[in-house]
Amino acid sequence: MMPWEKESARLHLLSYLAGVLYHLGIFSGFAVLFAKVVDLKMPAWGQIIFRFGLGLGLLSGLGLLLKRILMPNVRRLSRPDDFGANVFVDVFLAAALAASLDARAVTFLLGYSIFLFLYIPAGKIRHCVFFFYSRVLFGWFFGRRGVLPPRRERS
Amino acid sequence: MSPQPPSPGPLPERLARLGPEDFKAAVRRLAKALDGPSVVHLESCVRCGLCAESCHYFLDDRDLKSIPAYKLNLIIRVFKKYFSRGGRLAPGWTGAKNFNRQEAGEWVDSLFGRCTLCGRCVLNCTMGINIPALVRKARGVLASLGLVPDGLSSTVEMARDTGNNMGISKEDWVETVAWLEDELRADLRDPGARLPLDLKGADILYAVNPREPKFYPLTLTAVGKIFQAAKESWTLSSSHFDVTNYAYFTGDDELAGLLASRLKKAMEELKAKTLVLAECGHGFSSNRWEAPEWLSQKIGYEVKSILTVTAEYIRRGRIRLDPQRNLETVTLHDPCQLVRMGGIVEDQRTILRHVVKNFVEMTPNREKNICCGGGGGQLSMTEFASRRKSAGRVKSEQIARTKAQVVAAPCHNCLDQLAELNRHYKLGVKVKSVIELAADALVMSGI
């Protein structure tokens, strides 16, 4: 089911886009981390794309954190882990952005990444693994029943 | 496990009598109920809250407790406490909670009282979490504690003990069919017209919603007319005729399997080829999709909705219809269990386009349609009746916007809820089943 088909995405377009950018930023962060670990030299245009992705991702992450703090229903739905996971990832994005701009920040990025990778299985961030299974189950459920993709008949 | 009466009496009293051992047993029951996909879904919620407006309860009351993610997280926090290391080590950080009397009370209020299992939240969930499937499992845990609301529990018990949810005796059923057969013959002016009972080797076994013989007998003659016009080989069973399965709503899979097995038994006894189900949303979902899971076996026959069969007659030219016989503007309500959770999306539209002159869609429609509020066993749970009617406001506004004079719905729970909304919100519409409209438009020699 594509995003524009989803009422929740249309009603919360800004949050939805922020979520997409946030996760693109995270993938950019992993790319920067990988490049630093294997000492890969990125072309200038690649660095610009990843910095752009990291910057937008960081802004989106902070925006989503503000939303979680400021919107009463979302705040009341949340647990400390939800705020914590957001902050931990935002720090990672900031560290990756800093490391891509200044070599002095690489050590912090590497150290912080160890902490983050240790935290992932313990907290909310592990949804990154379950997301893919969940979407497969979603497709299997509605696909098998013939609900999605929609088949329209004009007769 | 079946709906318990270990502690009879009103629900709050039953809840008050439960002790720590009961809750430990309930957690073991939850562990048994949670399979791989359930765990994936429980681990996937990020509490983004984007699902809120997909729920008609939330659209009505804007209450945190009506947000699907809130309802899901009632289950998640217990899951975390007992089945996740993070939840055990840092319950405050992960939101993990013990399952106790207070928690069970909240489960009853939210998972029975604020959910129709309509599945609209699933389509709108960023992660694709099957929330109603998890709510059903949690309801099963509540059923093991004897915490199913009284009306719903007694409906299930009625079906378990008498063979159908209305408690119709075999004698009454056979007599009703005989009377309706006379009506059918008179209507069609055809002494050969039949509502066949226990006809062995018929192509179709037709299962009814017991509300039809009890309160809406003409729905059954309407189906009889369609089968007669199509020259179909079909039969009813005198023993097992109930398409409904209210154990689907209590989450009691064992009992749901028992109820579903009865139609299977009738199919085998009568050696019919296709089981055709009356207009019933959860009856379709139960018998078509869930029964093989409950019975842990493949069903060796086709299961179809009467809508699919009628639409096939139309496409193949087996019945003649005159839309001029239904001149009022008709709109269609899509029952959640039949459409979004069942996959019967276009057949009812094919029928309506051929049997009414003016057909208008609601917005949104099909798999995106808004629940009427009558599903999930809500009509049986008087405790939550005012909430149900209030949440139905969203559907009533949707109907009013169409300016239709007739609302068609292929589901008896929906028809009952829509009739109630019609009175409550003074909509001034007629509420009819799709098959009734089709029968009214039939062109036959006698009519």
Topology (CATH level 3) of domain B158-315: Rossmann fold (3.40.50)
Does B124 sit within 8 Å of A138, measured CB to CB?
no
Rounded CA-CA distance B377/B379 in Å is: 6
Q: What is the pLDDT of residues B108-166, one digit of tens each?
A: 999 999 999 999 999 999 999 999 999 999 999 999 999 999 999 999 999 999 999 99
User: Average pLDDT for residues B194-220, to the nearest whole number?
Assistant: 95
Collect all residues with Cβ–Cβ distance below 8 Å to A50 and sequence separation of at least 6. A28, A31, A32, A42, A100
User: What is the widest separation between alpha-carbon atoms in chain B?
Assistant: 76
- The pLDDT of residue B5: 45
What is the overall mean pLDDT for chain B? 95
Instruction: With respect to residue A129, please indicate whether it lies within any of the assigned structural domains.
Output: yes
**Residue B116 near residue B371 (C-beta atoms within 8 A):** yes
**Residue B248 near residue B282 (C-beta atoms within 8 A):** yes
Does A127 sit within 8 Å of B46, measured CB to CB?
yes
Min distance A116 CA to chain B CA atoms (Å): 15
User: Average pLDDT for residues B372-388, to the nearest whole number?
Assistant: 96
User: Average pLDDT for residues B175-189, to the nearest whole number?
Assistant: 95
Min distance B161 CA to chain A CA atoms (Å): 31
Instruction: With respect to residue A100, please indicate whether it lies within any of the assigned structural domains.
Output: yes
Specify the domain boundaries for CATH 3.40.50 within chain B: 158-315, 323-440
Instruction: With respect to residue A154, please indicate whether it lies within any of the assigned structural domains.
Output: no
The residues pairing with B21 across neighbouring beta strands, listed in sequence order, are: none
Instruction: With respect to residue A42, please indicate whether it lies within any of the assigned structural domains.
Output: yes
Instruction: With respect to residue A152, please indicate whether it lies within any of the assigned structural domains.
Output: no
- The pLDDT of residue A22: 98
Q: Under DSSP, is residue B408 helix (H, G, I), strand (E, B) or coil?
A: strand
Q: What is the pLDDT of residues A37-83, one digit of tens each?
A: 999 998 999 999 999 999 999 999 999 999 999 999 999 999 999 99
Over 50: is that where the pLDDT of B2 sits? Answer: no
Over 80: is that where the pLDDT of B9 sits? Answer: no
Min distance B419 CA to chain A CA atoms (Å): 27
Over 60: is that where the pLDDT of B196 sits? Answer: yes
Question: What ipTM was estimated for this complex?
Answer: 0.94
- Nearest chain B residue to A72 by CA: give it: B64
Q: How confident is the model at residue B8 (pLDDT cuts 50, 70, 90)?
A: low
Over 50: is that where the pLDDT of B216 sits? Answer: yes
Does B343 sit within 8 Å of A146, measured CB to CB?
yes
User: Average pLDDT for residues B74-102, to the nearest whole number?
Assistant: 96
Count of CB atoms situated within 10 Å of the CB of B300: 8
- The pLDDT of residue B445: 67
Determine which of B71, B73, B94 to mutate to test the interface with A (most A C-beta atoms within 10 Å).
Answer: B94
Closest by CA position to B413, among listed B362, B361, B337 = B337
Q: Give, as one character, the DSSP assignment of residue A42.
A: P
**Residue B443 near residue B321 (C-beta atoms within 8 A):** yes
Min distance B171 CA to chain A CA atoms (Å): 37
Q: Give, as one character, the DSSP assignment of residue B324.
A: G
First CA to last CA across chain B, in angstroms? 51
- The pLDDT of residue B10: 83
Instruction: With respect to residue A95, please indicate whether it lies within any of the assigned structural domains.
Output: yes
| Of B37, B44, B92, Cβ closest to residue A80 | B92
The percentage of residues in chain B with a pLDDT greater than 90, rounded to a whole number, is: 94
Q: How confident is the model at residue A5 (pLDDT cuts 50, 70, 90)?
A: confident
Distance of CA A94 to the CA centre of its chain: 14
- Nearest chain B residue to A13 by CA: give it: B50
Does B128 sit within 8 Å of A139, measured CB to CB?
yes
| Of A11, A82, A134, Cβ closest to residue B41 | A134
DSSP states along B130-155: -HHHHHHHHHHHHHHTT-S-HHHHHH
Q: How confident is the model at residue B19 (pLDDT cuts 50, 70, 90)?
A: very high
Which of the four CATH numbers 3.50.70, 3.40.50, 2.20.25, 3.90.320 does domain B323-440 have? Answer: 3.40.50
| Of A8, A16, A127, Cβ closest to residue B54 | A8
Q: What is the pLDDT of residues B338-372, one digit of tens each?
A: 999 999 999 999 999 999 999 999 999 999 999 99
User: Average pLDDT for residues A96-104, to the nearest whole number?
Assistant: 96
Contacts of A73 in chain B (CB under 8 A): 49, 52, 64, 67
User: Average pLDDT for residues B310-321, to the nearest whole number?
Assistant: 97
User: Average pLDDT for residues B10-38, to the nearest whole number?
Assistant: 95
- Nearest chain A residue to B38 by CA: give it: A134
Collect all residues with Cβ–Cβ distance below 8 Å to B209 and sequence separation of at least 6. B242, B243, B244, B278, B279, B280, B283, B412
Using the structure block, give the residue that is written with the tokens 């990125």.
Answer: A42
Determine which of A16, A140, A142, A144 to mutate to test the interface with B (most B C-beta atoms within 10 Å).
Answer: A142
Rounded CA-CA distance B77/B65 in Å is: 15
- Nearest chain B residue to A137 by CA: give it: B37
- The pLDDT of residue B446: 60
Tokens of B406: 């007739």
Min distance A2 CA to chain B CA atoms (Å): 11
User: Average pLDDT for residues B94-107, to the nearest whole number?
Assistant: 97
DSSP states along B162-198: HSSTT---HHHHHHHHHHHHHHHHHHHT-TT----BS
β-strands B430-432, B234-235 pairing: unpaired
Instruction: With respect to residue A102, please indicate whether it lies within any of the assigned structural domains.
Output: yes
Query: Per CATH, is B11-147 categorized as 1.20.1740?
Result: no
Min distance A51 CA to chain B CA atoms (Å): 26
Rounded CA-CA distance B175/B6 in Å is: 37
Contacts of B123 in chain A (CB under 8 A): 1, 6-7, 142
Over 70: is that where the pLDDT of A1 sits? Answer: no
Tokens of B171: 């004698």
User: Average pLDDT for residues A86-112, to the nearest whole number?
Assistant: 97
Number of folded domains that form chain A: 1
- The pLDDT of residue A36: 95
Contacts of A9 in chain B (CB under 8 A): 50, 126
SS3 per residue for B159-170: HHHHCCCCCCCH
Distance of CA B107 to the CA centre of its chain: 21
Q: Under DSSP, is residue B406 helix (H, G, I), strand (E, B) or coil?
A: strand
Rounded CA-CA distance B237/B276 in Å is: 12
Does B126 sit within 8 Å of A78, measured CB to CB?
no
- The pLDDT of residue B14: 92
Contacts of B93 in chain A (CB under 8 A): 79-81, 84, 123
- The pLDDT of residue A3: 79
- The pLDDT of residue B153: 95
Does B85 sit within 8 Å of A147, measured CB to CB?
no
Angle at B88 between CA B83 and CA B91, to 5 degrees: 115
Specify the domain boundaries for CATH 1.10.1060 within chain B: 11-147
Does A8 sit within 8 Å of B366, measured CB to CB?
no
pTM equals 0.95
Instruction: With respect to residue A151, please indicate whether it lies within any of the assigned structural domains.
Output: no
Rounded CA-CA distance B146/B143 in Å is: 5
Q: Which domain holds residue A127?
A: 3-144
Min distance B378 CA to chain A CA atoms (Å): 24
User: Average pLDDT for residues B410-434, to the nearest whole number?
Assistant: 97
Length of chain A: 155
Does A19 sit within 8 Å of B343, measured CB to CB?
no
